Amino acid sequence: VNVCVVGTGAVGSLFAASLSLLGDVEVWAYDLAQEHVDAINRDGLRLSGAGEVLGRPRATSDADDLPPCEFGIVATKAMHTEAAIAATAHAFAGGCVATVQNGLGNEETIAGHVERVIRGTTFPAGRLLEPGHVQWDVKGDTTLGPYDERTPLTEVERLADACTRAGLPAHAVEDARGPQWRKVIFNASTNPIGALTGLTHGRVCERPDLRTLVSGLVDEGKSVAAAQGIELDADPEELIDHAARRDVAYDHKASMLQDVEARRQTEVDYLNGGIVRFGQEHGVPTPLNAAIWALVKGLEAAWT
């Protein structure tokens, strides 16, 4: 089976390195960072931390090198989905493409280029240490489900099975929107608050006034999910409080705060922006998410 991971930052590398250990899978890693590609082809793709893996995917920055693949796993940042899938779609003409990205709207973007799309949400996390080497910070599950009726569940199950055998536990489900929206609501309600205030997750949550604002954002997200008939697989409020514990993620600087400090474009368009767009489509007002979206876009505009 040929599998191509599109975008091998931290999360993409976890998938590419782990899957390449399987005897029945040939893994391709597509990434635009030539240094990273060269390091992978020379020394392999190394994971350290939560798991020690030395994978041997075949890496390329040229989409023309890709053979026909049965599966794609898109793991770029959400703002690069369109360019990444436009470049690689030819390899997936007969296959299925899964997204394991953050936010809302990636499936729709991918479906603009390939027939069969798999909605995915993944919780493992890490960071790129140097070309060819990723620190694996957190283990976690992945949930995969067909994006629409064109994707057979049996194909989703094949991909989930491969991931699980490779050490990345994955479940195939009929409707994967629950975990996706749970994660989106969690991220949209906490990440931008950290980005706008400079506070860590724990310090955001211990201020009662800010925690109330977070709940206001969560409530809007839940209403938009409910209007679409999505059942969240867990309450984002509980996850937010859990993450605020000293022994969990009290001191964690949200990725969006890290983006802002490094003056990198954030994923706010696909988090709060996604909630606002889906809210509009389903007639659910989302004034707080709209306000937060505009403020973070303002921040981005201030340094461009």
Residues that bind another protein (CB under 8 A): 193, 196-200, 203-204, 207, 209-210, 212-213, 216, 269, 273, 276-277, 280, 287-288, 290-295, 297-299, 301-303
106 or 289: CB nearest another protein: 289
**Where are the alpha helices (H) located in 125-174, listed in sequence order?**
153-165
> Shortest distance, CB of residue 213 to another protein, whole angstroms?
5
| Beta-strand runs (E) in 2-158 | 2-6, 26-30, 45-49, 53-55, 58-60, 71-74, 96-99, 116-122, 125-130, 133-138, 142-146
> Shortest distance, CB of residue 273 to another protein, whole angstroms?
6
210 or 226: CB nearest another protein: 210
79 or 290: CB nearest another protein: 290
> Shortest distance, CB of residue 148 to another protein, whole angstroms?
25
The set of residues, in sequence order, having a beta carbon less than 8 Å from that of 247 and lying 6+ positions away, is none
Nearest to 100 by CA among 67, 71, 66: 71
Distance separating alpha carbons of residues 260 and 258, to the nearest angstrom? 5
152 or 298: CB nearest another protein: 298
- The DSSP bridge partners found for residue 59 are 29
> Shortest distance, CB of residue 271 to another protein, whole angstroms?
12
The DSSP secondary-structure symbol of 115 reads S
> Shortest distance, CB of residue 138 to another protein, whole angstroms?
23
24 or 303: CB nearest another protein: 303
Quick one: tokens of 151?
Answer: 């994707």
**SS3 state at 265:** coil
> Shortest distance, CB of residue 77 to another protein, whole angstroms?
17
CA 237 to chain centre: 20
**SS3 state at 25:** coil
**SS3 state at 208:** helix
> Shortest distance, CB of residue 103 to another protein, whole angstroms?
14
155 or 259: CB nearest another protein: 259
Is the CB of residue 144 less than 8 Å from the CB of residue 159? yes
145 or 274: CB nearest another protein: 274
> Shortest distance, CB of residue 204 to another protein, whole angstroms?
7
Helices (H), strands (E): how many in the chain?
12, 12
User: What strands lie across the sheet with 53-55, from one edge to the other?
Assistant: 53-55, 45-49, 133-138, 125-130
Quick one: tokens of 132?
Answer: 């060819």
116 or 277: CB nearest another protein: 277
Nearest to 50 by CA among 18, 26, 94: 18
